[in-house]
A = this chain, B = another copy of it.
Amino acid sequence: MPIETAFTRKFDVKVPIVSAPMDLVSGGALAAAVSGAGGLGLIGGGYGKANWVDAQFREAGAQRVGIGFITWSVQRDPGVIDIALGHKPAAMMVSFGDGEDIVAKAKAAGVATMWQVQRLEQAAQAAEAGVDCIVVQGQEAGGHGMDRGLVSLLPSVRDLVGKDTALLAAGGIADGRGLAAALMLGADGVMLGTRFWASAEALGSEAAKARLVSTKGDETVRSKVFDVLRDVDWPQNYTGRIVQNDVLRRWHGDLGGLSQNLSAERARYLASDEDDYSTRVLIAGEALDLVGSIEPAGDIVRRIEAEAQDILARAPGFLR
């Protein structure tokens, strides 16, 4: 029997599993594969490159997919929002900043909206903006985020916003156990990044994906090193969870030193091989321990759904 929640009803999908809009990784093929398996695939609108967004919607073809943006970045060049809305996405998601204007625009276009939050204090604003869904992202997540763990933040957001807003749990989830647990904590579904990054359809090199499979969650860390190094102007409170490497170990505790040596370090970084992950950034979350192989995204959706169905059906068995 399908897992039915406020999210599946509001977003008209069969499975409460969403692929995260990972910048340059979540292209149209991945989003279409996730939607094709009954979930909801999101194109990674990221920092807002219009040509790339157009190309990925074309890549998704007739499949119903959504898109997500980095709020503070896309607001610098908001034209890409209109371009995305022109593709009639299944959902538009904002994250990292005050997304009220984007949400209002999407709502006016009749597009379902999602707002990702990282701290409890952000959830009230998202709810007031009238979004259809709040994504609650724990610090376990790969890529940018903040400091709070999912297991207490999620039920706290539920208590704050009440029953009318759908919630997705994000960060550290990669299997049916995580989906079932998220539902117990008050979520209506899950958003997965790392698990879909390690999929056949994700955009990225084979070398990067091979490293995802061989790396453990203990080896990831939240840091600002690669934002400084790559000159990406993230607001102060956000860090990015990435896989530790030589560059990270050198500068993680010494951002001041990195700033003083920035032009040389940046040159060295850009001169390195793109698949040399002792130097290059590899973005991934703590869920890496739960990722054993690169699989088609549709298989991932179907397996997680089946695992969660089994766990939910057996839950009363704890009561003797």
B-contacting residues of A (Cβ < 8 Å)?
A: 1-5, 119-121, 138-140, 147-153, 155-156, 159, 171-175, 177-178, 180-186, 216-218, 221-222, 285-287, 289-290, 309, 311-313, 315-316, 318-320
Contact = CB atoms under 8 A, between A and B. Distances in A.
Given A4-B320, A120-B289, A181-B182, 20 more contacts: A3-B319, A5-B318, A138-B151, A140-B151, A140-B152, A149-B286, A150-B151, A151-B171, A151-B181, A152-B172, A152-B289, A152-B290, A155-B177, A155-B290, A159-B289, A180-B315, A181-B181, A183-B315, A312-B319, A315-B315
B172 A180 contact: no
Contact of A184 (B155, B172, B177): B177
Contact of A312 (B147, B186, B318): B318
Count of chain copies: 2
Given A178-B151, A285-B152, A120 B171 contact: no
Given A155-B290, A217-B148, A289-B120, A312 B320 contact: no
Contacts of A315: 180, 183-184, 312-313, 315-316
A7 to B, nearest CB: 11
A141 to B, nearest CB: 9
Nearest to A255: B253
